[in-house]
């Protein structure tokens, strides 16, 4: 038995080291291929200038702003809906209706992103265009609404899990004192589950930033800085997909690795923060 435990420990440790090595190798690969830009004097211009290759400007600032804009709006839309669904699943109707809703949410995690993209193009975009009578309908709002639907299962499942981890004795104490459902939620569940809620928000935000197809198909892919949710925008992931499909040996192509490093660092910091919060007790 002790030998089996030792072997299992070596296997799991090796898998962890291998995963970390692959992740760092990807980062190193992007850094090496972006060295021509990192060594040049235009590096800071890349992070602050607009994207206009015809005028010698290769900045990714519009894509960074577009990524944050779309991701934040989608998070603001999805968070209250996800929190409400989690409360319904774990607190309001944890029996039949709650279990059914949870099964539906779990099923949504298996839907390919391209399906969300097609639904957005043929259903959501025409609705936005007709309602607001502004532009083509391919804008930040359209992409954010569809991304909100995409990231909702992540938050719902993590919120539900954090609610379920609240000790049952705490909930029984509220019932014994005559507390109602709202008091149980506000004074017991949310204070004890806030780490899990924050973890779900961070991971969902990273999921929104890392998505490619929805932003590529619905956001409009304009390289100008957006001024409202009805403006078109381009994300870092969509920019990588569009440029790499047409070029492979130019300054525009090398800039893609700066985009990749930026996105890598943004999402990695969020994941590390989420994992650190999940490990802390209470």
Q: Tens place of pLDDT for every residue, the chain, 282 residues?
A: 567 777 777 888 888 888 888 878 877 877 777 777 766 656 677 777 788 877 777 788 888 899 999 999 999 999 999 999 999 998 888 888 888 999 999 999 888 898 999 999 999 999 999 998 888 889 999 999 999 999 999 999 999 999 988 888 888 888 888 888 888 888 888 888 888 898 899 889 988 988 888 999 999 888 888 888 999 999 988 888 887 755 566 676 777 777 777 777 777 776 676 666 665 555
∠ Cα 205 213 71 (to 5°): 25
Domain boundaries, the chain: 1-39, 47-279
Alpha helices, H only, 34-167: 35-39, 43-48, 61-87, 96-108, 113-119, 125-132, 140-164
Residue 80 CA, distance from chain mean position:
16
In terms of residues, how long is the chain? 282
The whole-angstrom separation of Cα 221 and Cα 235 is: 7
Q: Are 195 and 203 in contact (CB under 8 A)?
A: no
Tell me which DSSP letter residue 53 carries: G
pTM over the 0.85 mark: no
Tell me which DSSP letter residue 186 carries: I
Q: Locate 52 and state its tokens.
A: 């206009």
pLDDT score recorded for residue 245: 53
Spatial neighbors of 105 by CB under 8 A, at least 6 apart, are 85, 89, 152, 153, 156, 157
pLDDT score recorded for residue 249: 62
Place of tokens 């779309």: 70
Q: Are 176 and 78 in contact (CB under 8 A)?
A: no
Q: Give the number of other CB atoms < 10 A from CB of residue 14.
A: 10
- The candidate with the shortest Cα–Cα distance to 34, out of 252, 198, 193, is 252
Spatial neighbors of 87 by CB under 8 A, at least 6 apart, are 163, 185
- The candidate with the shortest Cα–Cα distance to 171, out of 156, 161, 186, 159, is 186
The whole-angstrom separation of Cα 217 and Cα 231 is: 15
Interval 187-224: pLDDT, tens:
888 888 888 898 899 889 988 988 888 999 999 888 88
- The candidate with the shortest Cα–Cα distance to 274, out of 201, 209, 208, 210, is 201
Q: Which fold has domain 47-279?
A: MetI-like fold (1.10.3720)
Helix (H) or strand (E) holding 58: strand 57-58
pLDDT score recorded for residue 277: 64
pLDDT score recorded for residue 6: 79
- The candidate with the shortest Cα–Cα distance to 153, out of 117, 111, 212, is 111
């Amino acid at each position: 038995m002790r030998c089996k435990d030792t072997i299992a420990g070596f296997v799991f440790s090796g898998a962890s080291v291998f995963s970390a090595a692959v992740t760092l190798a990807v980062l190193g690969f992007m850094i090496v291929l972006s060295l021509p830009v990192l060594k040049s004097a235009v590096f800071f211009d890349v992070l602050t200038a607009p994207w206009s290759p015809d005028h010698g400007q290769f900045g990714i600032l519009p894509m960074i702003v577009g990524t944050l804009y779309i991701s934040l709006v989608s998070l603001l839309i999805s968070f209250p809906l996800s929190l409400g669904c989690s409360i319904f699943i774990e607190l309001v109707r944890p029996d039949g209706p709650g279990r059914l809703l949870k099964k539906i949410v779990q099923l949504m995690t298996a839907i390919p992103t391209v399906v969300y993209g097609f639904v957005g193009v043929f259903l959501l975009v025409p609705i936005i265009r007709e309602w607001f009578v502004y532009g083509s309908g391919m804008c930040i709002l359209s992409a954010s609404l569809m991304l909100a639907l995409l990231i909702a299962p992540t938050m719902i499942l993590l919120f539900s899990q954090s609610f379920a981890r609240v000790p049952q004795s705490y909930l029984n104490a509220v019932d014994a004192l005559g507390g109602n459902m709202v008091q149980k939620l506000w004074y017991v569940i949310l204070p004890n589950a806030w780490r899990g809620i924050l973890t779900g928000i961070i991971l969902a935000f990273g999921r929104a930033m890392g998505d490619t197809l929805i932003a590529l198909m619905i956001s409009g892919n304009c390289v100008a800085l957006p001024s409202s949710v009805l403006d078109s925008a381009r994300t870092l992931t969509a920019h990588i997909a569009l440029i790499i499909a047409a070029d492979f040996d130019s300054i525009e192509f090398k800039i893609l690795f700066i985009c990749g490093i930026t996105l890598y660092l943004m999402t990695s910091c969020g994941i590390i923060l989420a994992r650190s919060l999940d490990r802390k007790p209470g």
